[in-house]
Amino acid sequence: MGEGKTGDVELFDTGLLGRVELGKSLPEYGHASYRYIIEALKLVFSGEAHAIVTSPINKASIHAAGIKFTGHTELLAHYGGVVDYVMMLANPSMRVSLVTIHIPLKAVPQAISADRVLKCILVTERSLKTLFHISRPFIRVAGLNPHAGESGVIGDEEACIDEAVGKARSLGLNVAGPFPGDTLFHRTDCDGFIAMYHDQGLIPVKATGFDRTVNLTLGLPFVRTSPGHGTGYDIAGQGIANPSSFIEAYRLAEKLSGAR
């Protein structure tokens, strides 16, 4: 990267692609997406950059290119050398961390365990302290089933969630739950929420501020943010895309990297 001053934008072209067909999902595009992420990691690890703000990637293109990662979060965690990482979506109204991420809905109950829920709580609590400067975060945890299982009448998965909450409380964390997902997210008296699966957490956070929602990967040795939306191939090249979420992602990355 060249020498610049505050406010400059530097563009780095790896020359991987020639002409690009907008709105298309092709293996070579997936490979290019992957390679650009690797270049960003090199800049962070060499100290030339302080944070990574990723644009949306198309998972079908990544998969077609033979890249064995289901998304940014898993890829960055792998190269960041961490196993305890969490996907959080945040906007000015709420912060929501996810216990499970990009897996089929039918696989969610089997993927939830007390250890996995506890890990999500711990990583989230630590990040709220170190990145957001909240001295004693209060976290609310969602159940999985309707009515949070209704004391086992509508499912018993809440038992392991309740165990995780109990363990977290025994460690001195300010955490409560599990609460029914349909009545939880309107609360404004906490610093963060823990959701059990992708759409349970992303629907409320995007509904309360779609254009200002940012995706963060917690637990990495560097700051990483991204817009809270996908690629939008259906409007590619039409000049109507809203950049608000990307701008918010950049601003948050700048703020959090300064905090670190």
Residue 211 structure tokens: 């254009």
| Closest CA relative to residue 207, chosen from 189, 228, 188 | 228
| Closest CA relative to residue 90, chosen from 98, 82, 100 | 98
Residue 176 structure tokens: 């409560």
Concatenated DSSP letters of 16-83: --SS--TT---HHHHHHHHHHHHHHHHHHHTTS-SEEEPPP--HHHHHHTT---SSHHHHHHHHHT-S
Cα–Cα distance, 86 to 195 (Å, whole number): 11
Q: How many CB atoms lie within 10 A of CB 240?
A: 8
Can you tell me whether residue 140 is helix, strand or coil?
A: strand
Cα–Cα distance, 168 to 80 (Å, whole number): 26
Q: How many CB atoms lie within 10 A of CB 186?
A: 9
What pLDDT does residue 10 have?
Answer: 78
What pLDDT does residue 7 have?
Answer: 67
Cα–Cα distance, 153 to 217 (Å, whole number): 35
Instruction: Please list the pLDDT of the chain residue by residue as tens digits (260 residues).
Output: 556 677 677 788 888 888 888 888 889 988 999 999 999 999 999 999 889 999 988 888 888 989 988 778 888 999 999 999 999 999 999 999 999 988 999 999 999 999 999 999 999 999 999 999 999 999 999 999 999 988 888 889 999 999 999 999 999 999 999 999 999 999 889 999 999 999 999 999 999 999 999 999 999 999 999 998 888 888 988 999 899 999 999 999 999 988 55
Record the pTM.
0.87
Cα–Cα distance, 246 to 212 (Å, whole number): 8
